[in-house]
Amino acid sequence: MSFFKNLKDKFTSSNEAEEVSDKYKSGLEKTRQSFSTKLNDLIARYRKVDEDFFEELEEILISADVGVNTVMDLVEELEMEVKRRNIKETNELKEVISEKLVTIYTEGDTSTSALNIKANDLSVILFVGVNGVGKTTTIGKLAYQLKQEGKKVLLVAGDTFRAGAIEQLDVWGERTGCDVIKQSAGSDPAAVIYDGIQAAKSRGADVLLCDTAGRLQNKVNLMNELSKVKRVIEREIPDAPHEVLLVLDATTGQNALSQAKEFSQATNVSGIVLTKLDGTAKGGIVLAIRKELNIPVKLVGLGEQMTDLEVFDPNAFVYGLFSEMM
Ligand SMILES: Nc1nc2c(ncn2[C@@H]2O[C@H](COP(=O)(O)OP(=O)(O)O)[C@@H](O)[C@H]2O)c(=O)[nH]1
Ligand SMILES: [Mg+2]
């Protein structure tokens, strides 16, 4: 069966699957418009597959932030596939490109993007990332989802540095019906997180979502503080934190990659949350992050609403990009 047909079947097979693919489709609107316009235009100009075609395809992929190394790998694989299947017409390549985007993302890694949340015990999730990337918003969205699944969720206001950060988390607490553990602004974040863990244990919470600051007096202070917060969590619960999620803003492009390198050193990041995919035409950054950092993208932010957070699924991503070309 063809790859397009498979995808189509998969994402129209049930109401749930359709809901997921609709979210991806609308969240990836800008990337799809830009990418499919360019790809269709390229295919119209080059009817036959040749060197120049691949060179221009490289440019399109690089302009979508896929990342140079990933683009090279991808195009190499495409060229092999063209030989193997004896493809002559560029029109036939749409499907091959979409298929390769998925395989290049998943290559050598069959793990799912599901969060490491325990069935019958407390799970602690630490959110890190620079200011404005969407940490607090993602915590609110995730709290909402987990509550829908029937879990008891507590939030901890570990960003004690930025004015208004505690109130912002409080608003999400009210919106989602989750308690927020907090101290006054300026207090020691590790102490607040410690309080959060004690509260989560005594109240029998299932999941503790820990917010942190994205900026301090300087970067060294921030990284030291995050390491300290992580140590406190480890000391209180030996196998925690169950996830350290680095939140990255997709609209910042390749800059997100350098942020990832810095935070990884301080906290051992277990997964990426890529926010604001709806706000960029360069959604290819998701591939660059996966390939160049070797950290899985676990969640994607596809809008500002409470429901605009999805587990990352490379198939849904590609379906969202190619649905109009199928
Ligand atoms: N369009 C869009 N905006 C988002 C998304 N996630 C977060 N935001 C917005 O990004 C801004 C900063 O978010 P915030 O959670 O305060 O970032 P923090 O400083 O990392 O905690 C807010 O205006 C959010 O509404 C997303 O997936 N899509
Ligand atoms: Mg915040």
Closest by CA position to 19, among listed 322, 324, 313, 326 = 313
What's the CA-to-centroid distance between 198 and ligand 2, angstroms?
22
Closest by CA position to 289, among listed 312, 321, 308 = 312
Distance between CA atoms of 194 and 232, rounded to whole angstroms?
7
Evaluate: CB of 160 within 6 angstroms of ligand 1. Answer: no
**For the chain, percent of residues with pLDDT exceeding 90:** 83
For residue 129 the two structure tokens come to 């990332």
Check residue 215 and give its pLDDT: 87
Evaluate: CB of 276 within 6 angstroms of ligand 1. Answer: yes
Evaluate: CB of 141 within 6 angstroms of ligand 1. Answer: no
Task: Give 205-236 pLDDT, tens digit per residue.
Answer: 999 999 999 987 788 899 999 999 999 999 99
What's the CA-to-centroid distance between 134 and ligand 1, angstroms?
4
pLDDT lower than 50: segments of the chain: none
Check residue 217 and give its pLDDT: 73
What's the CA-to-centroid distance between 249 and ligand 1, angstroms?
8
Rg (CA), the chain: 21
Instruction: Please enumerate in sequence order all residues whose Cβ is within 8 A of that of 210, keeping only pairs 6 or more positions apart, or say none.
Output: 124, 125, 126, 127, 156, 158, 193, 196, 229, 233, 241
Which residue is listed with tokens 């969202």?
Answer: 320
Check residue 110 and give its pLDDT: 62
- The alpha carbon of 149 is separated from its chain's Cα centroid by a whole number of angstroms, namely 20
Evaluate: CB of 133 within 6 angstroms of ligand 1. Answer: yes
Cα dihedral sign for 307, 309, 313, 314?
positive
Q: Which mutation among 304, 305, 312 tests ligand 1's pocket best, with the greatest number of atoms within 8 A of CB?
A: 304
Evaluate: CB of 303 within 6 angstroms of ligand 1. Answer: yes
Closest by CA position to 117, among listed 311, 252, 317, 318 = 311
Evaluate: CB of 134 within 6 angstroms of ligand 1. Answer: yes
Nearest ligand, measured from the Cα of 130: 1
Q: Element (H or E) spanning 184, and its range?
A: none
CA angle 143, 147, 149 (to 5 degrees): 120
Taking CA atoms only, the protein residue closest to ligand 1 atom 26 is: 276
**HSE-up of 50 (CA within 13 Å, CB side)?**
5
Task: Give 170-216 pLDDT, tens digit per residue.
Answer: 999 999 999 999 999 999 999 999 999 999 999 999 999 999 999 87
Count of C-beta atoms within a 10 Å radius of residue 195: 16
Q: Euclidean distance between the first and final Cα of the chain, in Å?
A: 14
Evaluate: CB of 301 within 6 angstroms of ligand 1. Answer: yes
What's the CA-to-centroid distance between 318 and ligand 2, angstroms?
30
Check residue 1 and give its pLDDT: 66
- pTM of this structure: 0.95
Nearest-atom number in ligand 1 for the CA of 127 is 20
Taking CA atoms only, the protein residue closest to ligand 1 atom 17 is: 134
